[in-house]
Amino acid sequence: MTRKKVFMTRNYHPDATELLKEHYDVDIWQENNTPPYDILREKVENCSAIFIESYDKIDSELLSSSKELEIISTRAVGTDNIDIAAATAQGVLVANTPGVLENACADFTWALMLDIARRISFSDRSVRDGKWTKLDQLPYLSTDIHGKTLGIVGLGGIGYRVAKRATGFDMRIIYHSRTRKREIETELGLEWAENLELVLKSSDYLSLHMPLTPETEHMIGEYELNKMKKEAFLINTSRGRTVDQHALTKALIEKKIAGAALDVTDPEPIPKNDLLTTLPNVVITPHIASASTENFANMAKMAAQNIIAALSNTPMPSCLNPDAYQYR
């Protein structure tokens, strides 16, 4: 019997690759970047499954040429790079990897928060640049985290774990989310804010954890930044386009807020001459919140398991569009 074909857009998932090879013919793009559009089109036309990264765009034009394609499995939680409606209409299942990355992303959010508050990267650069020439703490004075107010926008799995870690710092925690989470409020002592503005005005640290949707694109813009405390810090590990980056740069330069720690930018990678990269009150990392060694492998394994389940007609670990079954 002819084995189904699976295409992987990266070559750095050996365990997931071996798992898929047990069942299918696996073709792997050998460069660590998104395959050219014509290659993706060819694979969409001829493969039963595509294993992608969050950087790989799968649009309606690509999907319109799908003949054999049954599933798109992304090694990510966010799916703003996939036209899910078009996939559903073509009978193509879409899968992601929720849950597995939540602790890694929460840890990293806290790493960013501690870094920007206590000026760790700033101080490290100072030492490496030869500016630490005498024992004087004054140039490195920073801001406490314990006892302050943490505002969370989006209390999903990652936001919940960020809040849980905040209890160890004796923080007041206020949140705004699409749905109120009363059980978590009771568990962690969270305060619910029925509107975003209340969180903006109250927070010493504002951490973003909402998905990128048409409703959340540029959710934090000039108006919202002006509502924040001048002593407040913005931490973003969601998606770059949830923040108006031009407005953020302006707010930082004008000291409307104290600083920002960003794992995501718009665009990605951020251009090396972007003004944001020159500001001393900013920490920027290259979209690596989920990139612990263990989590990187576990996400890939889950993405592979989604493919195996979909192609064998068994329940998938995570299916985002079960309505696609009716069009298959």
Report the distance separating Cα 187 and Cα 164, nearest Å: 9
CA angle 91, 97, 99 (to 5 degrees): 135
Is 13 a catalytic site residue? no
Among 128, 268, 294, 328, the one annotated catalytic: 268
Which one from 161, 209, 241, 287 is the annotated catalytic residue?
287
Rounded CA gap, 87 and 179, in Å? 27
How is 12-80 classified by DSSP, letter by letter? Answer: --HHHHHHHHTTSEEEE--SSSPPPHHHHHHHHHH-SEEEE-TT--B-HHHHTT-SS--EEEESSS--T
Residues 132 and 109: beta-carbon distance below 8 Å? no
Specify the amino acid at residue 297.
A
| Annotation says 75 is catalytic | no
- Tell me whether residue 268 is one of the annotated catalytic residues: yes
Coil, strand or helix at 243: strand
Strand, coil or helix: 155: coil
Indicate which residue of 10, 75, 239, 241 is catalytic: 239
CA 180 to mean position of chain CA atoms? 22
Report the alpha-carbon distance of residue 210 to residue 182 in Å, rounded. Answer: 18
CA torsion angle 99 100 105 107 (round to 10): 110
Catalytic residues: 239, 268, 287
